[in-house]
Amino acid sequence: MLVLLDENLPHRLRLLIPGHDVRTVDYQGWKSLSNGELLQAAEDAGFSVMVTADKGMHCQQNLSGKKIALVVLSTPKREIVVARAALIVAAVNAATPGSFAVVDIGQ
């Protein structure tokens, strides 16, 4: 599965999601895109899941009919993200097209 990490997350997370091709917004050259443009670019490029800590993204975007799923983390703090990587992996693995999940990994 092709997974996109938003720019607000530590890049190290991509190494902690095994079994998937995980890329960052930075790597894709998409840092200048707005949330809607970013989701569309990711879907067009074949990404199945986008992981972000932008809590407002799900309110701004309608995922109905989309092929991409959105996983929103409760915090972007590096030490918490790394420590709770297993919860994030579980959410990525459970994602289905057009779904939205909030993963409470702490503050």
Look over the chain and give the mean of its residue pLDDT values, rounded to a whole number: 93
From CA 105, how far away is CA 87, in angstroms rounded?
A: 7
Window from 24-28, 32-36, 48-52, 72-76 with minimum mean pLDDT: 32-36
Confidence tier at 82 by pLDDT (50, 70, 90): very high
Between 47 and 34, the more confident residue is 47
pLDDT for 53 beyond 90: yes
In this prediction the pTM is 0.93
